[in-house]
Structure formats: C-alpha cells, structure tokens
Structure 1
Amino acid sequence: MKNNFMISVITPFYRGNKYLQQLFLVIQKNYMHLKKEFPEANIELIIVNDSPYDIVEIPKIKIDFSFKIIDHEINSGIQQARVTGLKACSGDYVLFLDQDDVLVDDALLSQVRVLIAHNAEMVICNAYMEKKDGTSYLLYRTTTDFLMLNNLTFYLKSHNIIKSPGQCLIKRQCIPVEWQRYIMKTNGADDLFLWILLLEKSYKFAINKEALYIHKYTGENLSESEEKMTISSLEIVDCLKKVDYVPKKDVYELKRTREFSLKLRKEKGLKRVLIMVRNFDLVMYLGVNKIKRKLF
C-alpha cells in the first residue's frame, strides 16, 4: 500500500446543516491522526446536496483537509447521492458517511491499518449503537457476529448485519459498476445491494473489532424501520436480476426471505403459524443463528 493515498469521505446531504459542524470536526480529527502515521496521506470530503432548495452552510472552523460540494438539481435519493460523490472523488479508498454519523478520532487510521494487515478490499469496524434514552450498546458482541460479516448467505436469508456504510472503508476500484448503474428508488437498502455484489465477486471483508463508528439516534434513522428496510430490500431483487455474475438461486433466496418477513409482520394467529410452517427452513435458519449469537 502506497503512503500517499487519498481517502474520500462521501456524505449525502439532506436538510442537514445542523450536523455539519460535527461532521467537519470528525473529519478534521481523523485527518490529524492519519497524518501522524502517514504524512503523505490525505482526506477529501465530498458533500452531495440532495436538497435542491437548501444551501449547504459550511461551518466556520479551521480545517486542513479539502472538501467540495456538489448540488443535485432534483432530489435523487441516497444511493444516487453516493454514486454522484463516488464519480467525483479522487480517493484510493472510499467511506460513505451519513451526515449525522460520528467516528472516533482515529477511526480512519485504525481502518487503514487493518486493510494493510489483511490486504482486503474492504474493512468493517465494530460500532456503538445509540438508543432513544441516550445509552448505547456494542453492535457485534460474539464470535458469530463477526463470522457473519463475510457470510453471503446471512445477508440473503437474514438481514444486513452492517448497520451503516460508515463502518466500512472500501477500495474505490472494487466498487461494482452495477451498483453505480442500477439506482434504487426506495431509500434504505442500497448498502445491502453493494455488500451482496462485493461478496458475489468474492471480495474479502477484513474485520476491525474496534468500535470506531457511533450510530447516533436522531429519531429520523431510516434503518430503525424494519418494514421500510424490508420493502427497500425487495427492490434489490430487480437490480440483481440484471447482474450476470449473481446466481438465480441467490436472487430467489433474497426475494423469498424478504417476502416471508413482510407476511409475518402483517399476519397474526393461525395465518402467522401457517406462514411459518410453509417456510420452516427460514424459521430454523433464523432461530439457529439467534441461538449461536447468544452462545458464542
């Protein structure tokens, strides 16, 4: 790995001026830590304004990294904002960081170290999840949790175990063109779409067990709504059908599990029991994995 690398932090902006000072401070602190160990490395922040009628208000604080703002003419959704930023960035590595996300001060340095050590295409860190009452919990707590991160079947048959792209530092050249081409209309699961494509291409996810990312509770987090995320996940099915290296059986499994999840939420009593009986293999798969997470 060369020492004069660039990290591009890509942030979709939507009515997010209240978060910008925090965002700039997070990047500045990470920039300072990164430069101590890699003096020739750099960070750029790319803010993609997906609020056509809002002006991005740059905080008046001292920063040493470069940044640029790209304005969408119309609201295009979070995936398109990420893709717009990706096409405009110069980085060797990419971090998709949401406007309300928080990183610890040396997060990027820690992520780079793990990428170097494992020669991987992407690194995933642990995270603290903030709850409504202000308390937080560790996202990955067992050996099984970490093992699932490289398990394609789990993403297809269960859920997206990566809470946010902000946990992931990715080699830019590895991001599939299909993810940039097929833009989802429903916000929420474009990151799951990306992880599935990367795993289908047999790319290696390195695991950083340090908790470097903090998922802040804002009351607006789309990922808090399981039903909305499931509906968004179903849209991935149509996208995957267009990708020639994704097996049909994997597309089928994703579709079946998400439809099962939606039906299970809508029905009660006997109808719910019948749905579970007809999909007993999924019930067993999910049940066994819950037990594993508790034991290991």
Structure 2
Amino acid sequence: MKEKTPLVSIIVPMFNTEEFIEESLESIIGQTYKNIEVILIDDCSSDRTYEIAIQYSLTNRNILLIKQETNKGVSSARNAGLRAAKGDYVFFLDSDDTLPLEAIEKMCNAAVEHNADIVTGLYERFDKSSSSISNIFNIYPELKTEGELNVYKVPAILYSVYTCGKLFKMSVVEQMNFTETLKYGEDQAFTIECLLKTKKIYNLSSIVYNYRFREGNTESSSQSVYKNPVENFEYLRKMFTLVQNLFAEYVSNPQTRIELLSVYLSRVLHWNIWTALSNGLLSMNMAVRFKILSVYLSWLTELDKNLHKSNEIDFYVINQKIGRIASVLDQKTQDLYSRHLMTP
C-alpha cells in the first residue's frame, strides 16, 4: 500500500504587503511539493493586500483566506492560522518573504525519512540589490552541517530563533500559541519552546527560506526596533522572561540550564538588545537616549547572577560599544553610564 503524502500547512500572516505578497504567493504556488494548503490571514490591511489575496484564493483551491475583524498583530494572525491548519506539518512564511522552489519538498522528505519533529536549514537575506546567506551561518558553521541535532548536541541552534524557515510536525505545535501581547521578538519564545521540547531536529545544508530586508517606509515589523527602540526593548525584556521560564520547565539540570540559557542570552544581547540599545542611544531625542540606557541597566539588575558570570565577555563587549559612542551622548546620559561603570 502506497504511503500517504503528508499535507503541509503554510501559514502566511499578512499586513500591508501589497508590494510583496504576489511574489511571496508565487513562490508557494511554484513549489515542487504539491500537497500543500495555504492559509492566508489578513490582519486588517489598509492597502490592496487583501484584494490581491482574494484573487489568488479564487484561482487556487488550496488557499484558505481569513480576514481578522480588527488589527491584532502578527501573533494573533499566526494563532488564527494554527487553529485553521489541517496539515501533518506546519510552515510559517511572512508575506514579504519567499521560498526556494524545492524548499518544502526537501524539508518534508527529511521530516519523513528521519522522523524529525522539526526540520530547519539555511536562510538567505536579500534586498533590492543583493542577497547572501545570513551571517549566523558563517559565525556558527555547525548550523550549515546536514544531519540530526538537538539543543544539547548543538547549542548553537538556539541562535536560530525565527519561527519562519522551519517545518514543524503538527503534533509539536497543535497545543501551542504565540504570545499576542508581544509586538517584537514575538516568535522567539514559540521557537525556543519547540527546540527544547522536541526529541529530534533535522538540519538541511541547503537554503530553505529567503528573508527580505525592507527599506524606508516599507520596513517590516521586525525592523520596527529602529524606530521604537524603548518600546521594543520592553518587549524584549518580557520575551526573555518567558524564555527563562521555558528553560526552567524543560531543562531540569541547573548547570545545563544556565549553559544553554547563556547561549541564547548571547544571541539576544548581540542581535536584539544591542540593536534596540544602540538605536536608542543614537536617537536625536535626548529623552529616548536616557530612557533606553535606564531600562537596559534596570534589566541587568534582574538577571540571574550566574548569567552575569557566564556571559561576562558579552556584557564587556556591550559596555565597550556603549563607551565608543558615549562622547556623543548628552551629559545626563553620560553621567548615568559613568555611574553604571562605577557599580561593582
């Protein structure tokens, strides 16, 4: 008897991406793997995104289009997609990104062959003029190696915090949801929980996701940190607390827990915290400069002392970076930073 071909649910939250949504949907429709259902969730777009999606749903029977009654954010849209999904596997795609044509086929084949709970791979970053593999894969080449892994065997997988670009077995995510109160870093807690709770992750050495870096007025929600650094730092603070609780739940050995959490903290410090902190410190608004440094220093006091020790080099690097721009800060912010340096 021929084995059933697994159904893959591709969940696409949409909000004001009329410029990109057609390219995104064409990359799904053109997939070499055909047993796919596409779930589009429009989060009350004010442009033509929804109208474009309607046309695609009329000509493609495997597209389900959902329109949210009010704008609730990407986490709510993804949760709506999860509730509607009927697949054996789930894949998340942002509506401005695209997929290599064989991405789903390669990932689904690997999931079945290796009985993997999650399949991941490389992702490429592109804009209007260029494309390149994300730098994380050059810093941690073990993430380019094909084969089975888990967080204990390859802790660097904790740097791969994006929900997009991963194929999840439905049994892993069907009882989960995204935290809707987080507007930045919202997918990290979801991804980390999946990485911690699963027994088998399979990594592909090929590119499975194309992440678009948007410029100017079309910046994505993940790029909003550049414009709202203080607000997004507070979201990061809440997100890190959620993730700490997940490590406490899934990693019973205290020493191992700190070791793994330290890897994740390093990622958050250099990719997320510093992005928010540096953009706040370089703001033309002096109140924003002082506020961002204040919330950062306050967050430091909340951290486990073991993390201060395990990530001592990371914090030193952040301090050095702050020091290099301290001379352009206003006096009030400089004084706050100086007091921090004198604190034992």
Q: TM-score interval w.r.t. the shorter chain?
A: 0.7 to 0.9
2:189 corresponding residue in structure 1: 193
1:222 corresponding residue in structure 2: 221
Whichever residue aligns with residue 43 of structure 1, its letter is I
Contact 1:28–1:65 under 8 Å retained in 2: no
- Identity among equivalent positions (%) equals 20
Q: Distance in 2 between matches of 1:136 and 1:93?
A: 28
Contact 1:52–1:71 under 8 Å retained in 2: no
Contact 1:121–1:203 under 8 Å retained in 2: yes
| Equivalence map 1:135-284=2 (5 Å) | 135-139=130-134, 140-141=137-138, 142-146=140-144, 150-151=150-151, 160-162=159-161, 164-175=162-173, 177=175, 179-180=176-177, 183-219=179-215, 220-224=219-223, 225=225, 231-239=234-242, 245-246=249-250, 261=273, 265=278, 279=308, 281-284=310-313
Q: Distance in 2 between matches of 1:247 and 1:92?
A: 27
Q: Distance in 2 between matches of 1:87 and 1:183?
A: 15
More moved, 66-75 vs 239-248 = 239-248
Contact 1:10–1:95 under 8 Å retained in 2: yes
Counterpart secondary structure, 2:21: helix
Q: Which has the higher helix share?
A: 2
2:30 corresponding residue in structure 1: 29
Contact 1:10–1:46 under 8 Å retained in 2: yes
2:67 corresponding residue in structure 1: 71
**Offset at residue 94 of structure 1 (A):** 0.8
Q: Distance in 2 between matches of 1:110 and 1:287?
A: 41
Q: What is the count of residue pairs matched by the alignment?
A: 268
Greater relative contact order: 1 or 2 (C-alpha under 8 angstroms, separation 6 or more)?
1
Q: Distance in 1 between matches of 2:213 and 2:62?
A: 28
**Offset at residue 222 of structure 1 (A):** 3.5
258 and 16 in structure 1: CA distance in 2 versus 1, 3 angstrom threshold: closer
Structure 1 portions without partners, runs of 5+: 36-41, 289-296
TM-score (norm 2): 0.64
1:51 corresponding residue in structure 2: 44
1:39 corresponding residue in structure 2: none
127 and 65 in structure 1: CA distance in 2 versus 1, 3 angstrom threshold: farther
The one-character-per-residue Cα deviations of 1:15-67 (angstroms, maximum 9, x if unpaired) are 2233232122111110xx124xxxxxx21111111116564423469955511
Q: Distance in 2 between matches of 1:75 and 1:206?
A: 35
TM-score (norm 1): 0.73
Contact 1:7–1:94 under 8 Å retained in 2: yes
Aligned counterpart for 1:114 among listed residues 110, 114, 127: 110
**Offset at residue 240 of structure 1 (A):** 5.1
90 and 176 in structure 1: CA distance in 2 versus 1, 3 angstrom threshold: closer
2:324 corresponding residue in structure 1: none
Counterpart secondary structure, 1:103: coil
Q: Distance in 2 between matches of 1:192 and 1:170?
A: 15
Q: Distance in 2 between matches of 1:207 and 1:287?
A: 32
1:18 corresponding residue in structure 2: 19
Question: RMSD between aligned alpha carbons?
Answer: 4.1
267 and 135 in structure 1: CA distance in 2 versus 1, 3 angstrom threshold: closer
Structure 2 portions without partners, runs of 5+: 283-292, 301-306, 318-344
